[in-house]
């Protein structure tokens, strides 16, 4: 099944609630549908026109939960409709097999939280800390979504793609994906214009293995004072309890895009050299921070934005969420320009106060 819509409204396809248009929106189910779309003469011409301007030939969206179109999109927006989760076989040389995990193949258009719910129901450990992150699985694998001490890259065995240049399927093993903090090879132009994710193979564990390092999770479960040994010896918390705790934390801190337009964390948390970090810590002894490696420390951008006085404030109809300053929100009817203006003002203010230039995590398109 495929749907090609000209002059399509992208309002239902972006959680910021921007009423913008794409010259063509093309949705597909199977790889064959995708091939037909890419071969369509009108679509091929639009893609070539974008290439000629030095742009990506198309923009592939998931559920539009991590992007901001800066205006009408003059090219082709692609969207995968294929959904489904199935137990996949385990190859002898797959990393899942080496770790004693089972493999789940998830079609790119499957809502990521449906995967988390499926795993919790079937006693499969791994994705529970990533519960309720909005968006689809293909996009999640591109963005390397992460929360509460887990990143999807920890769970990825393979990413299956359609190679637009060669016109054939291509498989990346997890270790070939160039994963880092909110980073993968498919975020960069050369690969982004060439590979379209069709499905993601996850390695999940049947054996009980939880990630409870994030203090907020232990607090939400009322187990702050329980030792690691006692936790290992007990069968509590259960997988479902951890998923429920993560959902409670997210619902408490993050705005529901159905109620207030937003795209989750708008900025990445900057990773800085320890010399920079130590100088700042001397000035701000209460500054939260996370060790990245021996030379680098991550500083929460949300904390810096709050220190700049932006928490709960607005610039026009764009605002900073009152419970989490990393999230920019559409207060109602904001234009893309208003969000971008707020973004730039915050970046400049944070740089003026802390000497660190924070970067958007959200994809700014156009
Ligand atoms: N903080 C403040 N003020 C704020 C926001 C945060 O002081 O307005 C402080 C908090 O008190 C805490 C620290 O900053 O000490 C970190 O805050 P939080 O735990 O809320 O996490 P974050 O670093 O702001 C990241 C991810 C989130 C993820 C959480 C939990 C990024 C860009 N964001 O946010 O991911 O849920 O950690 O693991 O890395 C997303 O990507 O959309 C997202 C929500």
At 1-46, the pLDDT tens digits run 999 999 999 999 999 999 999 999 999 999 999 999 999 999 999 9
% of the chain with per-residue pLDDT over 70: 99
Phi, psi of 87 (to 5 degrees): -70, 125
Q: Residue 361 catalytic?
A: yes
Q: Residue 89 catalytic?
A: no
Round to whole Å and give the CA distance between 343 and 337: 10
Q: State both tokens at 172.
A: 């990346």
Is the confidence at residue 98, as pLDDT, over 80? no
**Confidence band of 100 (pLDDT split at 50, 70, 90):** confident
Please name the fold of domain 85-205.
Answer: 3.30.465
SS3 203: strand
Per the model's pLDDT, the better-predicted residue between 100 and 238 turns out to be: 238
How many other C-beta atoms can be found within 10 angstroms of the C-beta atom of residue 250? 18
Which residue of the set 65, 94, 131, 265 is catalytic? 265
Least confident among 77-91, 247-261, 338-352 = 77-91
**Confidence band of 233 (pLDDT split at 50, 70, 90):** confident
Is the confidence at residue 91, as pLDDT, over 80? no
Round to whole Å and give the CA distance between 109 and 135: 9
Q: Directed axis angle between helix 41-52 and helix 31-39, to 10°?
A: 70
- 280 vs 110, 288, 311, 351, CA distance in Å? 42, 11, 21, 13
Is the confidence at residue 360, as pLDDT, over 90? yes
SS3 194: coil
pLDDT value at residue 234: 87
Global pTM exceeds 0.85: yes
Round to whole Å and give the CA distance between 180 and 164: 25
CA angle, 320 as apex, 318 and 322 as ends, to 5°?
A: 130
Indicate the domain borders of the chain: 2-80, 85-205, 261-365
User: Is 262 a pocket residue for ligand 1 (Cβ < 6 Å)?
Assistant: no
Architecture of domain 2-80: 2-Layer Sandwich (3.30)
Q: What is the mean predicted confidence (pLDDT) over 348-366?
A: 97
Name which CATH class applies to 261-365. Answer: alpha beta
Is the confidence at residue 169, as pLDDT, over 80? yes
User: Is 300 a pocket residue for ligand 1 (Cβ < 6 Å)?
Assistant: yes
Say if 2-80 and 85-205 have the same CATH topology: no
Is the confidence at residue 99, as pLDDT, over 90? no
Sheet arrangement for strand 290-291:
271-273, 296-298, 290-291
Is the confidence at residue 274, as pLDDT, over 90? yes
**Confidence band of 353 (pLDDT split at 50, 70, 90):** very high
Per the model's pLDDT, the better-predicted residue between 229 and 35 turns out to be: 35
pLDDT value at residue 143: 97
SS3 265: strand
- Closest ligand 1 atom to 298 CA: 23
Q: State both tokens at 23.
A: 């010259």
Q: Which of the listed residues 67, 254, 302 should we mutate to test ligand 1's pocket, taking the one with most ligand atoms within 8 A of CB?
A: 302
Sequence-distant (6+) residues with CB within 8 A of 282 are: none
pLDDT value at residue 108: 98
Is the confidence at residue 175, as pLDDT, over 80? yes
Sequence-distant (6+) residues with CB within 8 A of 329 are: 255, 260, 261, 262, 318, 319, 320, 321
Q: Residue 153 catalytic?
A: no
What is the secondary structure of 274-307 as a DSSP string? HHHHHHHHHH-TT---EE-SSSEEE--HHHHHHH
Sequence-distant (6+) residues with CB within 8 A of 252 are: 323
At 301-340, the pLDDT tens digits run 999 999 999 999 999 999 999 999 999 999 999 999 999 9
User: Is 66 a pocket residue for ligand 1 (Cβ < 6 Å)?
Assistant: no
């Amino acid at each position: 099944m495929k749907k090609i819509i000209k002059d399509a409204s992208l309002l239902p396809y972006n959680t910021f609630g921007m009423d913008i248009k794409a010259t063509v929106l093309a949705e597909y189910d199977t790889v064959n549908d995708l091939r037909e779309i890419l071969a369509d003469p009108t679509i091929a011409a639009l893609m070539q026109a974008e290439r000629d301007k030095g742009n990506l030939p198309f923009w592939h969206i998931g559920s539009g939960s991590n992007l901001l179109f800066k205006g009408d999109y003059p090219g082709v927006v692609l969207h995968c409709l294929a959904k489904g989760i199935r137990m996949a076989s385990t190859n002898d040389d797959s990393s899942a097999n080496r770790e004693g995990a089972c493999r789940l193949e998830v079609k790119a258009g499957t809502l990521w939280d449906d995967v988390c719910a499926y795993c919790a129901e079937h006693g499969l450990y791994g994705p529970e800390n990533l519960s309720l992150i909005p968006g689809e699985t293909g996009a999640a694998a591109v963005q390397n979504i992460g929360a509460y001490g887990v990143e999807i890259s920890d769970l990825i065995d393979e990413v299956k793609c359609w190679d637009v240049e060669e016109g054939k399927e291509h498989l990346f093993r997890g270790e070939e994906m160039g994963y880092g903090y909110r980073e993968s090879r498919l975020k960069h132009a050369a690969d982004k214009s060439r590979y379209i994710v069709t499905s993601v193979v996850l390695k999940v564990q049947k054996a009980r293995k939880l990630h409870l390092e994030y203090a907020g999770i232990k607090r939400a479960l009322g187990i702050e004072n329980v030792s690691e040994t006692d936790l290992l010896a007990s069968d509590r918390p259960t997988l479902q309890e951890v998923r429920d705790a993560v959902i409670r934390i997210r619902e408490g801190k993050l705005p529901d895009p159905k109620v207030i337009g937003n795209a989750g964390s708008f900025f990445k948390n900057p990773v800085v050299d320890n010399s920079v970090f130590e100088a700042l810590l001397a000035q701000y002894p209460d500054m939260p921070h996370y060790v990245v490696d021996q030379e680098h420390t991550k500083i929460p951008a949300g904390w810096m934005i709050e220190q700049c006085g932006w928490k709960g404030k607005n610039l026009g109809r764009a605002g900073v969420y009152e419970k989490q300053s990393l999230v920019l929100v559409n207060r109602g009817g904001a234009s893309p320009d208003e969000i971008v203006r707020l973004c730039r003002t915050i970046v400049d203010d944070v740089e003026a106060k802390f000497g660190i230039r924070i970067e958007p995590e959200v994809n700014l398109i156009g």
